[in-house]
Amino acid sequence: MSIQRVVFVGSKALGASVLDAIYSISPQSLVGVITVDDTSDIRCALDQFREFERRTGKPLRVLQKSSELMTAIVEYKPELCIVVGWYWVLKPELLKIVPYGWLGIHASLLPKYRGGAPLVWAVLNGETKTGLSLFYFDEGMDTGDIVAQKEVRIEFEDTIEDILVKVENRSREIVGENYPLLLTGNAPRLTQDHSQSTYAALRQPSDGRIDWDQPAPIIYNFIRAQTHPYPGAFCFLNEKILRVWSAKPFAYPYYGPHGQVVMVEKNHVVVACGVGTGLCLHTVNFEGFDQQRASQVLKFGQRLT
């Protein structure tokens, strides 16, 4: 078997990175690229896809709605589709018309963290490792056969941005190792152990409100899971939204009303949290203002809610 016609379907920085990787391995097999106009998303990488088109001459289709995907696939006539960073569910009729299937990269060690925002949930839950899976799409939610997986460590001080960089690097590795095997029909294909499945829901910016009744280590994970490039964890001070971009648990027990600023130092402030813990806030900003040191913004005795 030799696959001659591959279409890439995807978006975001991770998608653009994987697209570059598959093109560098076999430029002649890539016959088209499909992305989406996601300029309203802070993670948008549409400019990178347009630059890829200019640089390589490979045709690019920018979709406005999900119904356009079928038309694009019919026109390109791919034998295989690679999907990374896609927004819309692939309907069964789409899956059926591509002879050698659809493969994607999911940012977890499947069958763990199937579904939305797997990296954010992994950090929120205090995991010490995550990873990525190259797998076949089927009609379930991330339930298809696995080609390969790579593990990614989550260090205590890693933010979601650090994890995204690690996953992007590992994605290029997994593609580099397995894309040639896919083109020749020699890639492994393993059924997932569905008994080990866990699922994760999509998250919205409104889900980022800090609960100061939680212990400081939990809030720390909550903040680092949603910091840049995401909208950030937030709370309120005098009915104004305050976003917290970086923090670290205070080294000792600290007892005080939850959410109260109980210490102000040069480079941080300490906020009392649940079960006698404290959290050092390093950088914050009020909505509409630049990011600053927390000690430049917050005062002793103020109450965050």
**Each residue's pLDDT tens digit in the chain (305 positions)?**
799 999 999 999 899 999 999 999 999 999 999 999 988 887 888 899 999 999 999 999 999 998 899 999 999 999 999 999 888 888 899 999 999 999 999 999 999 999 999 999 999 999 999 999 999 999 999 999 999 999 999 999 999 999 999 999 999 999 999 999 999 999 999 999 999 999 999 999 999 999 999 999 999 999 999 999 999 999 999 999 999 999 999 999 999 999 999 999 999 999 999 999 999 999 999 988 999 999 999 999 999 99
- Is 3.20.20.140 the CATH classification of the domain at 6-199? no
Q: What is the C-alpha R_g of the chain?
A: 22
C-beta of residue 150 within 8 angstroms of C-beta of residue 132? yes
DSSP 216: H
Residues 72 and 79 sit within 8 Å (Cβ to Cβ): no
Q: What is the predicted pLDDT for the residue at 42?
A: 78
In angstroms, the Cα distances linking 151 to 4, 130, 157, 171, 227 are 30, 6, 18, 11, 22
| Domain parsing of the chain, residue ranges | 6-199, 205-297
The domain 205-297: what is its CATH number?
A: 3.10.25.10
Positive or negative torsion for Cα 75, 175, 18, 155 = positive
**pTM as predicted:** 0.92
**DSSP secondary structure code for residue 96 in this structure:** H
DSSP assignment string, 183-194:
HHT----B---G
Instruction: List Cβ neighbours of 200 (8 Å cut-off, separation of 6 or more).
Output: 108, 113, 114, 115, 116, 117, 118, 121
- pLDDT, residue 89, reads 84
Q: Residue 35's beta-bridge partner residues?
A: 62
- Could you tell me where the DSSP H helices lie in the chain? 12-25, 46-56, 68-76, 92-96, 118-124, 160-184, 216-224, 294-297
Q: What pLDDT was estimated at residue 88?
A: 84
DSSP for 36-48?
Answer: E--TTSTT--HHH
Q: How many CB atoms lie within 10 A of CB 31?
A: 16
